[in-house]
Amino acid sequence: MPVWIWYTALRILLFAAPLAVLLWAGVNEWVSAAVAAVFGLSASLLLLRRQRESIATDLYAARHREAPVVRDDDEAEDSALDATKPERPAE
C-alpha cells in the first residue's frame, strides 16, 4: 500500500476517533469538531513523522528526476502538434 494512503487513513482516524468520543459524551458538535481537529493535528505531527518524511522524500524525487519520464507516444504527439501549428512569418 502506498505511504500516502496509509498516512491519510491514520490522519482521518486521529480526527474521527476523538470526534466520535466527544459526540458520544454529549459535547456540542462545534466544540467536538474543533477539539478533534486540534487533537488530530497535534497527534499527527507527533506520531506520524516517519510517514510524513517518506511522503516528502517521494514527492521530492518525483519532482527532481534527472531525466523526464518518456512515454512511447510522446514523440508522435509532439510531431502531430508541431504539424498543426501555423508557421509565423519572419518579422
Q: 3-class SS at 28?
A: coil
What is the tens place of the pLDDT at every residue in 17-66?
Answer: 999 999 999 999 999 999 999 999 999 999 999 999 999 998 898 888 77
In a domain, 41, yes or no: yes
Give the span between the Cα atoms of 80 and 16, in whole angstroms: 51
* Domain total in the chain: 1
pLDDT given for residue 91 in this prediction: 60
Longest distance between any two alpha carbons in the chain, whole Å: 76
Residue 51 placed within a domain: yes
d(CA 40, CA 34): 10
Residue whose entry in the numeric block shows the C-alpha cell 507527533 = 46
pLDDT surpassing 70 at residue 5: yes
Does 59 fall in a domain? yes
Asked whether residue 18 is domain-assigned, the answer is yes
Could you give the CA distance from residue 43 to residue 1 in angstroms, rounded to a whole number? 22
Residue 54 falls inside a structural domain: yes
Q: Is 72 domain-assigned? A: no
Q: Which three cell numbers stand for residue 17?
A: 476517533
User: Which range marks the domain in which residue 23 is found?
Assistant: 3-63
Residue 78 lies in a domain: no
Q: Binning pLDDT at 50, 70 and 90, where does residue 2 land?
A: confident
